[in-house]
């Protein structure tokens, strides 16, 4: 039993401490550490921060908005005269669930017809657009949660982006349909070699949807969060997500025969729970690889995922360096300091800098605001010349919060407590003679 516990402790120690000792590493130099760091951060995001639960939320939101979404796509496509292309695309999307494809097409057509008739046409149209925009907003909220973005997109920009997506999606579907027809025509003209032709057809039929899905997930991971995400950090997770979606679709078709008895029991309703299962698994894949994209970018920027807490002396040293940098920045009149610059100057991990900043913000020594791109920036709340080491130490020690205790709790004698408080005040006052700005030798 002790041996098993020791093994578990070793595994936990490896993921929490050992893999972070060399900082962020390259795959070519330390492939196992490289993968272990990302695996740990993905696991932490999904299960510790409970981002796994987003899949159920988005499955519900998608189910509520699926008919209005397709109705909007059909309405825009009909306006351009490409309704048939979109219908063919729906059949391809739900190739493993033909009953669902027919139901979606029929209900979307009825929905459009309903919004054009009767006295409540305005209410129906507003509800349809609200359902679509609400889904977009929920998806954005989930991705902001994954990327720890605290400020949402302003409504003006969000409305413009959502309306743009509503019009661009049908056009993208039409473009993809045209490409599909083009590649199918090429495949039809290939010479009929016994071995090469089937292999070549299989490669093209696999590569085209994989390319489309990779592009889709790359755009999703890059532009949906209200923060700066580099495509170079998310394209590989997007590729893996595309592979998993294709695998899910293939597995669903292959094992569909197992659901025959299920269909006999539930009849026409059998498609509904199967659709929910397919949606939830798809969102699991989407969210899981979004976490991998976040881990890639954060590790690339030095945001290490170790959980080791700092000692009191480490807190004082690191928060002093951060505060001194902000003092020099205020002296130069540069303006708010982004997190990326603090990471580059201090060479601390993301969690270490973040803990120092949170402590300084709580002490009202530093103000946290947001730039136009949603990134957090930091400025001093006080004049740099008046900021002493005693004030910093007081922030590190924290505020004294009186707690009402029962008579059975042991307490210091009033005289000793008075002496300690007096000595602390004198000590902090003496330390204020040392200006925080002088902590650093160079004006970074």
The tens digit of pLDDT for each residue in 186-219 reads 766 766 655 566 777 777 778 888 888 899 999 9
Query: What 3-state DSSP class applies to 225?
Result: coil
Instruction: Find the mean pLDDT for residues 331-340.
Output: 85
Confidence label for 111 from pLDDT (cuts 50, 70 and 90): confident
Say whether both 336 and 194 belong to one domain.
no
Confidence label for 443 from pLDDT (cuts 50, 70 and 90): very low
Cβ(97)–Cβ(66) under 8 Å?
A: no
124, part of any domain: yes
Cβ(340)–Cβ(301) under 8 Å?
A: yes
265, part of any domain: yes
Say whether both 293 and 322 belong to one domain.
no
Say whether both 324 and 421 belong to one domain.
yes
The pLDDT tens digits for 37-77 are: 899 889 988 988 888 999 998 998 888 888 888 887 787 77
* Res 290: pLDDT: 95
CB neighbour class for 294 (10 Å; exposed up to 12, middle 13-18, buried from 19): buried
Say whether both 182 and 221 belong to one domain.
yes
254, part of any domain: yes
Say whether both 289 and 358 belong to one domain.
no
154, part of any domain: yes
CB neighbour class for 94 (10 Å; exposed up to 12, middle 13-18, buried from 19): buried
127, part of any domain: yes
Residue 391's domain comprises: 312-399+412-439
What CATH number should be reported for the domain holding residue 330? 1.10.10.10
Cα–Cα distance between 229 and 224 in angstroms, integer? 9
CB atoms within 10 A of CB 195: 7
C-alpha dihedral over 222, 227, 228, 229, to 10 degrees? -30
* Res 143: pLDDT: 92
Cα–Cα distance between 393 and 399 in angstroms, integer? 11
CB neighbour class for 299 (10 Å; exposed up to 12, middle 13-18, buried from 19): buried
Residue after which a domain boundary falls, among 272, 300, 328: 300
The pLDDT tens digits for 154-172 are: 777 777 777 777 777 777 7
Instruction: Find the mean pLDDT for residues 6-15.
Output: 75
Statement: the pTM of the whole predicted model exceeds 0.75:
no
CB atoms within 10 A of CB 398: 10
Query: What 3-state DSSP class applies to 366?
Result: strand
Say whether both 187 and 79 belong to one domain.
yes
Say whether both 328 and 349 belong to one domain.
yes
332, part of any domain: yes
Say whether both 289 and 371 belong to one domain.
no
């Amino acid at each position: 039993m002790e041996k098993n516990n020791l093994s578990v402790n070793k595994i936990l120690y490896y993921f929490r401490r050992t893999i972070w000792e060399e900082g962020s590493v390259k795959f070519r130099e330390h492939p196992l550490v490289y993968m272990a760091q990302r695996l740990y951060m993905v696991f932490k995001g999904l299960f510790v921060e409970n981002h796994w639960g987003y899949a159920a939320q988005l499955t519900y939101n998608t189910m509520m908005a699926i008919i209005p979404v397709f109705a909007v796509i059909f309405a825009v496509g009909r306006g351009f005269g490409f309704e048939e292309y979109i219908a063919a695309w729906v059949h391809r999307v739900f190739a493993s669930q033909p009953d669902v494809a027919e139901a979606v097409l029929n209900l979307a057509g009825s929905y459009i017809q309903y919004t054009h008739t009767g006295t409540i046409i305005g209410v129906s149209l507003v509800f349809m657009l609200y359902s679509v925009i609400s889904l977009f907003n929920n998806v954005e909220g989930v991705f902001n949660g994954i990327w720890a973005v605290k400020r949402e997109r302003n409504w003006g920009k969000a409305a413009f982006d959502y309306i743009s997506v509503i019009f661009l999606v049908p056009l993208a579907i039409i473009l993809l349909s045209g490409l599909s027809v083009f590649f199918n025509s090429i495949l039809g003209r290939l010479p009929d070699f016994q071995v090469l032709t089937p292999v070549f057809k299989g490669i093209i039929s696999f590569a085209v949807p994989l390319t489309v899905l990779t592009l889709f997930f790359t755009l999703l991971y890059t532009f949906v969060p209200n923060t700066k995400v580099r495509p170079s950090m998310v394209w590989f997770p997007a590729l893996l997500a595309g592979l998993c979606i294709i695998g899910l679709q293939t597995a669903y078709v292959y094992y569909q025969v197992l659901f025959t008895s299920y269909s006999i029991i539930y009849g026409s309703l059998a498609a509904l729970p199967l659709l929910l299962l397919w949606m939830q698994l798809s969102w699991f894949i989407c969210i899981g690889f979004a976490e991998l994209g976040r881990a890639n970018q954060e590790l690339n920027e030095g945001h290490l995922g170790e959980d080791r807490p700092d000692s009191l002396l480490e807190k004082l040293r690191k928060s002093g360096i951060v505060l001194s940098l902000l003092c020099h920045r205020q002296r130069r009149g540069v303006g708010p300091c982004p997190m990326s610059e603090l990471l580059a100057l201090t060479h601390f991990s993301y969690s270490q800098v973040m803990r120092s900043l949170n402590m300084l913000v709580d002490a009202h020594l530093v103000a946290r605001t947001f730039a136009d791109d949603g990134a957090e920036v930091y400025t001093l709340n006080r004049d740099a010349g008046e900021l002493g080491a005693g004030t910093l130490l007081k922030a590190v020690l924290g505020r004294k919060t009186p707690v009402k205790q029962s008579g059975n709790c042991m307490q210091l004698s009033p005289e000793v407590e008075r002496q300690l408080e007096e000595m602390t005040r004198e000590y902090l006052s003496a330390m204020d003679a040392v200006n925080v700005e002088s902590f650093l030798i160079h004006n970074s």
